[in-house]
Amino acid sequence: MNLKRSSALVGVVALGAMTLAACGSDNNTASTTSASGGASAAAASTASCDGKSNLSGAGSSAQKNAMDAFTAAYISACQAKGKTVNVAYNPSGSGDGRTQFIAKQIDFAGSDSAIKDQQATDAKARCAGNDAWNLPLVFGPVALAFNVDGVDKLVLNGETAAKIFNGTIKKWNDPAIAALNSGAKLPDTDITVFFRSDSSGTTDNFQQYLAAASNGAWAADATGSDFKGNVGQGAKGSAGVAQGVSSTPGSIAYVEKSFADQNKLKSAQIDNGSGPVELTTASATKSIESAKFKTEGSKDLALDLKATYASKEAGAYPLILATYEVVCSKGYDADTSAAVKSFLTSAANEGQSTLEESGYIPLPDAFKKTVVASIDAIS
């Protein structure tokens, strides 16, 4: 299934009302909905507000700001129906979220890569013998955020990015970088790489991109949720790596656009073979439109992004990720099942209304229908 985007999508609005909390954490405080916005969301809400009042989730820090928006919309909607609810979400990293979900410590996991292989098998036990489903509720482009004195515009391709992140390219004025940036005053300074020190779906997606787009500069098997570059400085969470780049001249990191925006970081353009492409909503959407599900017709909506990462489509920004909510298809107790369905239904509908303000890309209408159908099928 191709993900078709409506023409209503406009440029990303710069994130203003979200602030970072403690250094090195992902304790971002999301902007709360205005009184009029909250009332509108509540009036149009699809949330039943059934089931238990308190849900718990953990995992992807990439979706933390989106989760704040989802929770605010859900709380507002249920308050209008006379019910007090809350969703406690800990942005502990995708790997930790999946681990906690399998161990029944949380109701759902946020993950930037689909649960699979042995973890999917283990999740069946947690779900009383039933499959866990991957439901993509947030799309976000990943920025190659950089902080280089005197350089406002930077172009990289898959090969140069791979060689930077595996330590083969060590200086900003390396001939391979210079060849992509004619006329730029690249300094003769060392490159400082920041990477996620925690197990991260963002890392998984980024390394899959490098493996697909680097002409062999990144090993095909150097993927997964832990960084395999053997170079650089680790930092905890998306906020940690963004803060590292912000405070370190000569540095670069892979980080979700929302966190790059928060820290006012510059993002490299990517040339996958059809010319440099700036990171914008429109260019990321062009890539999302070509993404396909791994299994057509399944209620498990894991995506196959390898072809997207390797695409040479003009004007398409290839480095994107889909971040999932990992849930039990069946096997919850009745109160948990009802609450999970209510919250996710709200998130897939009115919860999407403010995501562009946070640097995300709301669900395309046709894709939203597919997600809601899977949510409705949870039992």
pLDDT tens digits along 182-236 = 999 999 999 999 999 998 888 999 999 999 999 999 999 999 989 999 999 999 9
> What letter does residue 11 receive in the DSSP assignment?
P
Same domain, 207 and 341: no
pLDDT under 70 in the chain at which residues?
1-44
List all residues 6 or more positions away from 348 whose beta carbon is below 8 Å from its beta carbon: 137, 363, 368, 371, 372, 375
**Apex 240 CA angle, 236 and 241, nearest 5:** 100
> Do 333 and 282 fall into the same domain?
no
Same domain? For 137 and 190 the reply is: no
Last residue of a domain, which of 254, 286, 318? Answer: 286
In a domain, 89, yes or no: yes
My answer on whether 57 and 177 are in the same domain is no
142 closest CA partner among 168, 165, 116, 175: 165
Both tokens assigned to 149: 């004195």
In a domain, 107, yes or no: yes
- Can you name the residues that pair with 8 across neighbouring β-strands? none
What's the CATH number where 360 sits?
3.40.190.10
Residue finishing a domain among 286, 318, 348: 286
Number of domains in the chain: 2
Judge if 119 and 92 occupy the same domain. Answer: yes
Same domain? 119 vs 151: no
pLDDT, tens only, 24-58: 333 333 333 333 334 344 446 788 999 999 999 99
Binding-site residues for phosphate:
60-62, 94, 112, 200-202
One domain, residues 176 and 188: yes
Range of the domain at 130: 35-141+292-303+326-376
Q: Within a domain: residue 50?
A: yes
Across 224-355, the runs of DSSP E, i.e. the strands, are 233-235, 251-256, 266-267, 269-271, 276-277, 292-293, 303-304, 320-328
Looking at the structure, tell me whether residues 205 and 98 fall in a common domain.
no
Q: Are 134 and 149 in the same domain? A: no
Look at residue 30 and tell me if it is in a domain: no
Binding-site positions read: 60-62, 94, 112, 200-202
- In this structure, the answer to whether residues 48 and 122 fall within a common structural domain is yes
Structural domain includes residue 316: no
State how beta strands 108-111 and 320-328 pair.
antiparallel
From the CB of residue 6, how many other CB atoms can be counted at a distance below 10 Å? Answer: 10
Residues 6+ apart with CB under 8 A from 90: 57, 58, 59
